[in-house]
């Protein structure tokens, strides 16, 4: 008896579609393959499905965004994303969840379940998997994929193996490894003939050796920030800026971090910085005039920023305020520069930038160009979007398409 036959006999399944990874993309792939009438086995290395789904959106699950197009994704993935969304885009994603009984609402363009609970999203998905009789193999840590006698053989570290006519790899990237994705599938994909674009953390806090950060740790302000590489602006955003003992965090920093992370972690660039406008609600001339009026009134140096920034900033920035020079003080607030020395690690990164090179993937089907019958979806590909539901939207879309195509593969 062949290895493939042995594996199928062990599982009692008839030439199934095997989906590897029980996150958002993998679950959608299993559902779409099941809806196509295929026998499906969903393999998950953890003891439950969708742990990242549960954690997404601070537990609310930001499903997608009202503005869903390729401009919100890394440039190298533009055509792949456009093609996927033309098949399964915003309307199709919303209809899919509504059909499952999940009602949603838009909060400033970000779409959430009306329950504001990510557990509601996971529950309706699990109910659909059950309805379709999708077999879920928990604690199945895939160590290799081979092809023999017309079947893919998927092996695990327990010695258990599965055989199927097609495979969808949806193992995710490297962010939050404790939730199930640790990047181990990159090696499997490479062994199957794919090129890997070096993965780096994205939407991640930044390291900055700066006394101001240390003194102000725990302080949060609304700011406008720019990411600089070799002195040139590569990204900018407005939002929360949180000072930490190690550097900078907050939504504004997460939004500009990708380009800096690629520069320092992939290209070993050393000239990186963040330029911060601590008072974006007032222009520079108006701020200078405001400081000048306070100086004329004899306001103490440490009190010059009262009402403009939180009280603690007066003491933290006293070296800049002691001169009582309105022009230099305005400049220090509007264009404060922090040298970036690195990023925090994978446990604090929302997303992964990098992964399987999309040049090796068929845009229409998400099938491997190196091996027929092998499909990819989700974060394992070199596709990453902005914060705001874009990465989950890609997972839903690519997962549904890959599952459908895997089911159709003969």
The pLDDT of residue 362 is 98
Strand order of the β-sheet with 104-107 is 64-65, 110-113, 104-107
pLDDT score of 233 more than 80: yes
> pLDDT averaged over the chain?
94
The residues pairing with 336 across neighbouring beta strands, listed in sequence order, are 276
CA distances to 225, 301, 314 from 288, rounded to whole Å, are 20, 14, 16
Q: How does 49-82 read in b/e, with b if 16+ C-beta sit within 10 Å?
A: bbbbbbebbeebbbbbbeebebebbbeebeebbe
**Higher-confidence position of 6 and 302:** 302
CATH topology of domain 3-201+351-408: FAD/NAD(P)-binding domain (3.50.50)
pLDDT, tens digit, 9 for 90 and up, residues 320-358 = 999 999 999 999 999 999 999 999 999 999 999 999 999
Q: Whole-prediction pTM value?
A: 0.93
Q: Indicate if the pLDDT at residue 4 is higher than 70.
A: no
CA distance 403 to 395: 12
Number of C-beta neighbours around residue 359 at 10 A: 12
| Average pLDDT rounded to a whole number, residues 18-28 | 97
Structure tokens of 276? Answer: 């911060």
Distance CA 125, CA 123 (A): 5
Provide the token pair at 22.
């029980």
List phi, psi (to 5°) of 167: -135, 135
For residue range 99-121, what is the model confidence (pLDDT) as tens digits? 999 999 999 999 999 999 999 99
Q: How confident is the model at residue 56 (pLDDT cuts 50, 70, 90)?
A: very high
pLDDT of residue 7: 53
Structural domain spans, the chain = 3-201+351-408, 206-343
Position 178 confidence tier, pLDDT thresholds 50, 70, 90: confident
d(CA 201, CA 173): 10
Q: How large is the average pLDDT for residues 138-145?
A: 96
Paired with 43 in beta bridges are 20, 137
Select, from the ranges 6-15, 145-154, 267-276, the one with the highest average predicted confidence (pLDDT): 267-276
Mean of pLDDT values over 139-161: 94
Given a cut of 50, is residue 1 above it in pLDDT? no
pLDDT digits (tens, 9 = 90+) for 199-229: 999 999 999 988 999 999 999 999 999 999 9
377: pLDDT strictly greater than 60: yes
If one compares 66 and 209, the residue with the highest pLDDT of the two is 66
């Amino acid at each position: 008896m062949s290895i493939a036959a042995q594996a199928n006999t062990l599982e009692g399944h008839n030439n199934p579609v095997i989906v590897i990874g029980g996150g958002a993309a993998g679950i959608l792939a299993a559902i779409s393959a099941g809806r196509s009438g295929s026998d499906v086995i969903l393999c998950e290395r953890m003891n439950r499905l969708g742990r990242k789904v549960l954690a997404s959106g601070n537990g609310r699950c930001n499903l997608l965004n009202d503005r869903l197009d390729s401009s919100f994704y890394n440039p190298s993935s533009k055509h792949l994303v456009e093609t996927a969304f033309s098949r399964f885009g915003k309307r199709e994603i919303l209809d899919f969840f509504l059909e499952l009984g999940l009602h949603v609402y838009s909060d400033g363009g970000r779409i959430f379940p009306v329950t504001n609970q990510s557990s509601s999203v996971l529950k309706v998905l699990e109910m659909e998997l059950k309805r379709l009789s999708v077999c879920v193999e928990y604690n199945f840590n895939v160590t290799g994929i081979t092809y023999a006698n017309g079947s893919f053989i998927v092996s695990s570290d327990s010695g258990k193996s599965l055989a199927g006519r097609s495979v969808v790899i949806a193992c995710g990237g490297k962010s939050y490894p404790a939730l199930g994705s640790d990047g181990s599938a990159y090696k499997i994909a490479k062994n199957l003939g794919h090129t890997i674009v070096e993965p780096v953390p994205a939407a991640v806090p930044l390291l900055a050796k700066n006394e101001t950060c240390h003194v102000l740790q725990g302080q949060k302000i609304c700011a406008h920030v720019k990411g600089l590489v070799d002195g040139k602006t590569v990204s900018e955003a407005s939002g929360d800026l949180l000072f930490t003992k190690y550097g900078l965090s907050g939504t504004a920093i997460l939004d500009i971090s990708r380009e800096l992370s690629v520069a320092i972690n992939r290209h070993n660039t050393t000239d990186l910085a963040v330029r911060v406008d601590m008072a974006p609600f007032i222009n520079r001339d108006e701020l200078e005039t405001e400081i000048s009026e306070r100086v004329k009134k004899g306001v103490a140096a440490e009190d010059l920023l009262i009402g403009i920034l939180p009280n603690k900033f007066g003491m933290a920035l006293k070296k800049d305020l002691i001169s009582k020079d309105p022009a230099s003080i305005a400049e220090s607030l509007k264009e404060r520069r922090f040298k970036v020395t690195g990023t925090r690690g994978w446990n604090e990164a929302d997303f992964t930038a990098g992964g399987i090179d999309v040049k090796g993937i068929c845009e229409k089907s998400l099938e491997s160009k190196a091996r027929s019958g092998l499909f990819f979806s989700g974060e394992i590909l070199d596709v990453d979007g902005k914060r705001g539901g874009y990465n989950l939207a890609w997972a839903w879309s690519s997962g549904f398409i890959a599952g459908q195509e895997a089911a159709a593969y003969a």
